[in-house]
Structures are given as C-alpha cells and as structure tokens.
Amino acid sequence: MSLTLHQVTRRYGAVTALRDVSCEIPAGQLVGLLGPNGAGKSTLLRIAATLLPPSAGEVWVNGHDLRQAAPAIRRDLGYLPEAPPSDPVLSVAEYLRFRATLKQIPRREQAARVERQIDQWQLQVVRQQRVDRLSLGYRRRVGLADALLGNPRVLLLDEPTIGLDPLQVVETRQLLRRLAGEVTVLVSTHLLAEVELLCDRALVLRRGELVADLALGMTAAGPNAFDLELDDPPERVRPLLEQWGRLVILPTRTPGRWRIETAWSAPELVRACVSAGFQLCALRACQPTLEDRLLAIEWNTLREAA
Amino acid sequence: MLAVVGAVYGRELRAFHRRPLGWLILLIAALPPLVAGSWLVALSARGGLATRASGHPVTQFLGPNVFLISTLLVLVPLLTMNLIAEERRRGAWELYATSPSSLGSVVLGKFLAAWTLLLACLAPWPLVLGLLRVWNGGFQPAALGWPLFGLPLPAGPGLVFDPGLLLGGLAGLCVVGGTLTALGTCCSAWCRHPLLAGLTTATLLGLLVAFSLLPTVLENWRIPLEQFAWMRPWAVWIHLSEFSQGSLSLGRCGQHLTVSLALLWLSRVACQHQSAGSS
C-alpha cells in the first residue's frame, strides 16, 4: 500500500506543527522519519494513522482519500504510538485478544494470531501479568505485538526501539527488514544509526517542514563524496570548495581535511585542485554517512538563513 | 459491531471487579437501601406512611426519597467518570481511534457496562422490598424446622403491596438510571480528566434534583402547579415517582430512550472531536 501526502498542513491553534509536507512512499518501502523534538514527526504519524485530520492538504493511502475511506484504511493499518500500552485491567494475553476484537479479526483466527505475536515478541513469561505492571521494554513489545496483530499493510511506528534491550533492538530491526517489501513502514526515531541500518529512505523534518528526502543504503543515488587533505589556509580553500560542490562539516575534523559532495569524478576534482593551485596531499572517495548528510543540510540551512 | 460492544462491555466489567474500589462501591451502595428499609419498617409500624401525600410506601421507597437520590448522586459520577476520560488521560484512546471499529460501538459498550454496574449497585433496593414482603408473615422458617437459634421471628412490618408497584419501581430505576448513566458517559467524553468528569456529572445531577424539586417548592408558595406543567418532562426525579406508582408509560420510556441516545451520540462526537483536536 502506498502512502501519499500532498501539501499537508496541521495547525494546533496558532501553532503550525506541519507545513506543506508532500511526499510519496511507495508500497513496501521502509522510511525513517527524522527530526529534532517538535519537528512534527509524531503529528505526521498521527495524521497517517487517521487519528488527526490535516488542517489543509490531502493524504492518500493506496489511492484512497484518508478522510473518506478512514475506516477501511484502518483495517490495513498497524500503529504504535509513542506511549506504550498501559492497560490497568487486562493481562498481556487478554489485552491482545481484546485488541484483536477491536481490529475485527475473525474470532476463529484470534487465538492463533495472539499466540504468534506472543511467541514473536517473547512475551510468554509475562502473558498472565497485567500490562501496566510490566517494564517499559515489555510494554513496548506488547505495543509492537498489537501493531502487527492485524497483519497490517501499512505500519506506523513512533520510536519503536526505545526501552528495548540490545538483543530486542536487533530482533526488531531484523523483523522490520523482513516486513519491508510486503509492508509499507514509516518509523519515527531520533536514532540516526537505526535509520541508516534499517531504512531505504529518510524524511527529515524541521519545524514542521520537510527539509530533506534522502535515499539510503544500496539504493542511494547521490553525488560523489570525497575526503580531501589540502595544505592550504582554510580562508582560501573554503570559497572554492563551496563553488565546486556541497561542503560537509565534520564534527571531529582535523586541520586541512575537508569533505565535499560533488557531481565531479575524482580525476575532475584533482584537476580542479591543481588548477586552483592547492597543495593536494590526499584524496579519498567516501560514502557519506547519514549524519554527514544531515549536518550538511543543517549547515546549508544556517548559511541560507545568515 | 456486536463483538466490539461485547468486548468493551466485558473489559469494563472486569475493570470494575478487579479493583478493590469496585467492591467497596458495591458494599457502600448496599447500605442506603438497608437504612431506607429500616426507615420504612419504622414508619410502617407507626402507621405514618398512610398519611403521607405520595401514597403507598413502595412509591416512596423506590421513588425520589433522599436515600435513593443521594445514592444516585454519588454512584452515577463514580461509575462513569473513568469511562472515557481516564482512557484519554492514559493515551489509550488513540488505539480505539485508530482501530477499524466505530467509536460509537466503543461508547455503547462502555455505557452498557456502566449501566449494568449501576443496576447491580441498585439491586438491593427491590431486594429489600421483596424481603419485607416475604417477611410479612408469608415466610415461617420455624415452620420449616429451622430453630433460628431460638430467636423469636417477628410477624413482619405489615407491608402488603401489589407486585406491580415493585416492577414499576424497578423499571423506573432501569429507565432513569440509563438516562443518568448516559449523562455521566457524555461528561466523561467531553472532559479531559476523570475527576473533572465526575464533578461535572455530580453538578448536573444536582441541578436536575433542584429542577425536579422546584415545582414542589413553588407549590408550597401557593403558586398553582399547572403553571409548571412544562417542567414535568424534564423533572427526572418525578419520573421515578411515576414509575414507582406502577405507571409504565411508553411515552415516558421513549422520552428517556431518546435523551439517552442523544447523549450517547454527543459522547461519540466528543470522542471524535477530542481525538482530532489533541496535540
């Protein structure tokens, strides 16, 4: 199931949480949603989960308008909210059974599906315990089990690995990778490494605006990135490098070392350095990390603002 | 839809019975009918009941007496305040709102559970009356060979009444109790905090009491009662009195059903509105 957002805006009174966000997520793609606190990630997820109507713009799930076909869309939707479940009455098994009824899963299938999720998330030891008495990690697992209970075709996860132990984090990532291809997954997280390991694509939000849509992993098709070591004063080097491509600011940089993203090939870059009279000590091709790319976006935004 | 209503209904009943507070409420709810029952026996023994304006003791017992009104004023807010407001406070409402089931089914399931619990709490009222009727010489344990530890069994309070009055009163508790529960459900849906929902419900019920008693007060000031006929359909507590006189008016039942459905519809609207408006 594909998910399309067209100029989606969401306002809470005078505050605009999302502003003109447009993107298209094809069926089966695993997309990370990145951004600082208050960037609008949870709002975007809640809109996609049919929980909030957009103040303006349109959301389409598999070609169906979200406003008109919300009940039908919810059947194919798995949603893990930021707050894990905390039912003060039901045990884990009862809670999942209750949720299965709410998801309108046929009665004869409910027991099997609940057992499968209990096995998958290793909840056997706590199956008779009340949900609100579990640790955060277990409650998160119950939430994940709930989100997957209805065999969703669109999965919306808000911080899915927070509170899980390292082994569970790895298993969750593996499971999400397995689901990708069949299920469209949108994951909101602060963990860059998680998005880099897991996702096909990252959407970066900042103050409610979509500031970047980055392809990741093997499918990434971006400019070439090079590490340069130049024995020249920075005030002379920087203006020229900025003309040749996008300068990436490294958080722990050594003097004279630069990273540049450019459309040029390595020989072209060497020729440009020689023509400019730079003393080129070394040049290495490198794959920019997500962090590099986000820093570059941040740097460019700040520069534009200045 | 029925499966969802049933699941929500079952969950709410379990929620009530798995908390010690639930059992405490049931225990406390059993006290007013016992007190009212002893009051009824005492009045009956003194022959005071026959002289009262509202007629038969059953009408007074299952009608708007101070014990029953106080019980409802306390029970309805207690049983309904957590229904929706608590779920929203915990953030659990998001999961209802994103499931394919309609919010109307969820609200209906919660309302039915609260109504059932209210009726369970009110069950001692007709039970006490039934006991008093059986006790009135009709039941002789000693005759069955039970020694009762040598205690003499009194002949009973002399309460002989038509069972129709009891059934009418019972129907009144069901119908009026349903409307009051729907009012509490609606308050729980519109308020963000359970405590606020409980206080709002209690305030509205208090206003209903005042509104219902107003014609009587005005009558005491020698203002003709006919001038307040328009108030009668809204004087909920007076309806209890009508029912306990054995008058089962379909119009009155329909009126309560309509108001209850309207309140439940408003609750559903509130749930949708609150889900969409929350940040």
Cβ contact B18–A89 (<8 Å)? yes
A66 and A192 inside one domain: yes
The three-state DSSP-derived secondary structure of B5-48 is HHHHHHHHHHHHHCCHHHHHHHHHHCHHHHHHHHHHHHHHHHCC
Candidate from A117-126, B27-36, B105-114, B162-171 with smallest mean pLDDT: B162-171
Whether the CB of B96 is below 8 Å from some CB of chain A: the reply is yes
Report the pLDDT value the prediction gives residue A98, as an integer from 0 to 100: 94
Whether the CB of B13 is below 8 Å from some CB of chain A: the reply is no
Helix (H) or strand (E) holding A291: helix A290-305
Q: Nearest chain A Cα to B96, which residue?
A: A102
A185 and A103 inside one domain: yes
* Domain closes at, from A204, A219, A234: A219
**Which residues in chain B touch residue A53, judged by CB atoms under 8 angstroms apart?**
276
Residue B147 lies in a domain: no
Phi (first) and psi of residue A106, to 5 degrees? -50, 140
Angle between helices B20-29 and B103-122 (to 10 degrees): 50
Report the pLDDT value the prediction gives residue A220, as an integer from 0 to 100: 47
In angstroms, rounded to a whole number, what is the distance separating the alpha carbons of residues A45 and A42? 5
A167 and A235 inside one domain: no
Distances in whole angstroms, Cα of residue A225 to Cα of each of A220, A289, B119: 12, 10, 73
Residue in A51, A110, A155 to test binding to B, most B beta-carbons within 10 Å:
A51
With contact defined as beta carbons under 8 Å apart, do A186 and A157 qualify?
yes
* Domain closes at, from A219, A244, A267: A219
Q: What is the mean pLDDT of residues B127-151?
A: 62
Report the pLDDT value the prediction gives residue A218, as an integer from 0 to 100: 46
Nearest Cα neighbor of B256 from B178, B165, B168, B170 is B178
* A113 contacts: CB under 8 Å, gap ≥ 6: A100, A105, A149, A151
Domain carrying residue A201? 3-219
Q: How deeply is B235 buried, as exposed, middle or buried, from its count of CB atoms within 10 A (0-12, 13-18, 19+)?
A: buried
A186 and A277 inside one domain: no
Q: Could you tell me the two tokens for B130?
A: 């039934």
Residue B39 lies in a domain: yes
A60 and A137 inside one domain: yes
Residue B149 lies in a domain: no
Torsion of CA A90, A93, A97, A98, to 10 degrees: 10
Q: Structurally, how many domains does chain A consist of?
A: 2
How wide is the angle at C-alpha B252 spanned by C-alphas B246 and B258, nearest 5°? 145
Residue B74 lies in a domain: yes
Candidate from A30-34, A196-200, B26-30, B173-177 with smallest mean pLDDT: A196-200
Report the pLDDT value the prediction gives residue A66, as an integer from 0 to 100: 82
In angstroms, rounded to a whole number, what is the distance separating the alpha carbons of residues A131 and A142? 8
A235 and A110 inside one domain: no
Residue in A52, A89, A99, A159 to test binding to B, most B beta-carbons within 10 Å:
A89
Report the pLDDT value the prediction gives residue B279, as an integer from 0 to 100: 40
Tens digit of pLDDT for each residue in B84-129? 998 888 888 888 888 888 889 999 999 999 999 999 999 998 888 8
A280 and A243 inside one domain: yes
Q: pLDDT of chain A along its 306 residues, tens only?
A: 788 888 999 988 888 889 998 988 998 889 999 888 888 888 999 898 888 888 899 888 877 888 888 888 888 889 998 888 888 889 999 999 999 999 989 989 999 999 999 998 889 999 999 999 998 888 989 999 999 998 898 999 988 888 788 888 888 888 888 888 888 999 998 888 888 888 888 898 888 888 888 877 644 445 677 888 888 888 888 888 888 887 766 545 567 888 888 888 888 889 999 998 888 888 888 766 777 677 766 666 656 655
Whether the CB of B272 is below 8 Å from some CB of chain A: the reply is no
CA A19 centroid distance within chain: 18
A118 and A233 inside one domain: no
Amino acid B207 reads L
Three-class SS state of A115: helix
Length reported for chain A = 306
Residue B103 lies in a domain: yes
Phi (first) and psi of residue B136, to 5 degrees? -70, 55
| Closest by Cβ to A51, choosing from B97, B100, B101 | B97
Q: Structurally, how many domains does chain B consist of?
A: 1
Establish, for the pair of chains A and B, how many residue pairs have beta carbons separated by less than 8 Å: 73
- What is the DSSP pairing of strand A184-188 with strand A224-230? unpaired
Cβ contact A79–B95 (<8 Å)? yes
Residues 139-198 on B with a CB inside 8 Å of A are: none
* Domain closes at, from A219, A242, A262: A219
Residue B178 lies in a domain: yes
Query: Up-side HSE of residue A148: CA atoms within 13 Å toward CB?
Result: 23
Domain carrying residue B269? 2-138+154-277
Its pTM stands at 0.79
A87 and A177 inside one domain: yes
Q: What is the mean pLDDT of residues B14-33?
A: 89
Q: How deeply is B221 buried, as exposed, middle or buried, from its count of CB atoms within 10 A (0-12, 13-18, 19+)?
A: exposed
pLDDT, greater one: B217 or A141: A141
Cβ contact A104–B3 (<8 Å)? yes
Residue B63 lies in a domain: yes
A201 and A138 inside one domain: yes
**Which residues in chain B touch residue A77, judged by CB atoms under 8 angstroms apart?**
98
- Asked if pLDDT for residue B50 goes beyond 60, the answer is no
* Whether the predicted interface score ipTM is above 0.95: no
A52 and A98 inside one domain: yes
Tell me the H-state helices in A25-164: 41-48, 70-74, 92-102, 107-120, 136-149
Q: Among the ranges A275-284, B218-227, B270-279, which has the highest mean pLDDT value?
A: A275-284
Q: Nearest chain B Cα to A101, which residue?
A: B4
Residue B163 lies in a domain: yes
Three-class SS state of A142: helix
A16 and A135 inside one domain: yes
The secondary structure of A145-188 as a DSSP string is HHHHHT--SEEEEESTTTT--HHHHHHHHHHHHHHBTTBEEEEE
Helix (H) or strand (E) holding A197: helix A192-198
Whether the CB of B273 is below 8 Å from some CB of chain A: the reply is no
Report the pLDDT value the prediction gives residue A174, as an integer from 0 to 100: 84
| Closest by Cβ to B92, choosing from A52, A74, A87 | A87
